[in-house]
Amino acid sequence: MTKQPIGVFISGRGTNLQSIINASKNENFPCEVKIVFSDNHNAKGINLAKESGIDTFSLEIKDFKNKREFEEQILKLIKPYDLRLICLAGYMKILSSEFIEHYPNKILNIHPSLLPKYKGLNTHKRVLENNDDITGCTVHYVNHELDGGEIIVQKTVKVDAIDSVTTLADKVLKQENLIYPEAIKIVLRK
């Protein structure tokens, strides 16, 4: 099977990146991570990618005149990879509409809540404050509305009375790491 080229954008730790890399080592997985981009030079995930022999680059927005120039440089650097998908995996910048239009229906994101509940940041804190007994995670397409694109896969996680933000984040993250490769498979087999 010819594997389709994908890119992963990160800002930090990279557990979701690692789970996608691991899945892609299976010969039946439909794609291969060809490039990892970080908007933070010190992201731990960059080293994970390098260890797997994947091309990486990082650019920080503070070194550019504005967001448009920052994104134009990213677009220029990823263009030669002819990416079938861009997977945002803990990427903490919001992509502009102009950027998204370069990759229509080709950008995915993972979010640590059961969207459409709890868009944005601090999802686990809000789940606990509201005494929800179920939370979870979502992989969705990226469109012009923050955390608002079509949902591809969701997984629920039970909230226990003793859960804190940390324990909940850990439980949800385990499920995130499982559903991201699953969602990629669904999208690429459509």
Q: Which residues are identified as catalytic?
A: 111
Residue 149 binding ligand GRF, by CB under 6 A? no
Nearest to ligand GRF of 47, 79 (CB atom): 47
C-alpha closest to that of 127 among 141, 152, 119: 119
Kindly identify the residues of this chain, within the stretch 152-181, that bind ligand GRF according to CB under 6 A.
173, 176
Residue matched to tokens 């459409």: 116
Distance CA 114, CA 111 (A): 8
Q: Shortest gap between Cβ of 18 and ligand GRF (angstroms)? A: 8
Give bridge partners of residue 36 from the DSSP assignment.
8, 56
Nearest to ligand GRF of 80, 116 (CB atom): 116
Are 35 and 54 contacting, i.e. CB atoms less than 8 angstroms apart? yes
Residue of 7, 30, 90, 149 interacting with ligand GRF (CB under 6 A):
90
Q: Shortest gap between Cβ of 105 and ligand GRF (angstroms)? A: 20
Nearest to ligand GRF of 10, 78 (CB atom): 10
Burial 32-68, CB ≥16 within 10 A → b, else e: ebbbbbbbbeebebbebbeebebbbebbeeeeeeeee
Q: Shortest gap between Cβ of 113 and ligand GRF (angstroms)? A: 9
* Contact string (CB under 6 A) for ligand GRF, positions 32-51, x = contact: -------------x------
Distance CA 102, CA 72 (A): 11
Kindly identify the residues of this chain, within the stretch 1-30, that bind ligand GRF according to CB under 6 A.
10, 12-17
Distance CA 135, CA 117 (A): 9
Alpha helices in 63-161, H assignment, sequence order: 67-78, 97-102, 123-129
Q: Shortest gap between Cβ of 68 and ligand GRF (angstroms)? A: 24
Residue 111 binding ligand GRF, by CB under 6 A? yes
- Residues near ligand GRF (CB under 6 A) are 10, 12-17, 45, 89-90, 110-112, 173, 176
